[in-house]
Amino acid sequence: MSENDRGSEPALTHVREDGAVHMVDVSAKQATVRTARASAVVVTTPETVALVATGDLPKGEALATARIAGILAAKQTPQLIPLCHPLPLSAVEVSFALTPEEGRIGIETFVKTTAPTGVEMEALTAASVAALTVFDMIKAVDATAVIEGIRVVEKRGGKSDIGGGA
């Protein structure tokens, strides 16, 4: 299907004319500084968020564990997502915002590189694995916790920026 067959929608870059998926060749693109932020939320009980805040969970300190898991996940993205390019990551940050009264653990990740392609997938992978790690750490006290809202919050560098302020 060509661009004209679908109206104004852009062509899928990971699909060849014959319909086969492939890794996009980014060798002609300029290496620029590229950043991405992603987020996720773990919804649990106020009591569980309080345990996370104090580090008193049966499995131990959830936030430090989830931070390390998120950083490691960002670095492993090309091994997990088949068509992602291996990128030299220059920064990976994982932060948390606890809202005990709402039973919410917010997770935000930031990833930075200088490369010919962006780091949205690395930021999303970091947020997802950090959320999964929080879930694993709290499931003994709240087996009904839910992970929601995994999304790209901001992308900078390359030909299209999304999210954030100017």
Chain mean pLDDT for the chain:
90
What pLDDT sits at residue 109?
A: 98
Positions marked active-site: 136
What pLDDT sits at residue 166?
A: 44
pLDDT digits (tens, 9 = 90+) for 114-150: 999 999 999 999 999 999 999 999 999 999 999 999 9
Which class in CATH covers the domain with range 25-157?
alpha beta
What pLDDT sits at residue 28?
A: 86
Question: Could you state, in order of their start, the residue ranges of all structural domains in the chain?
Answer: 25-157
Query: Is 156's pLDDT higher than 60?
Result: yes
pLDDT digits (tens, 9 = 90+) for 93-119: 999 999 999 999 999 999 999 999 999
Q: Is 165 exposed, middle or buried (0-12, 13-18, 19+ CB in 10 A)?
A: exposed
Look at residues 82, 89, 147, 141 and name the one whose alpha carbon lies nearest to residue 118.
89
Q: Is 26 exposed, middle or buried (0-12, 13-18, 19+ CB in 10 A)?
A: middle
| Segment among 17-26, 101-110, 117-126, 153-162 with least mean pLDDT | 17-26
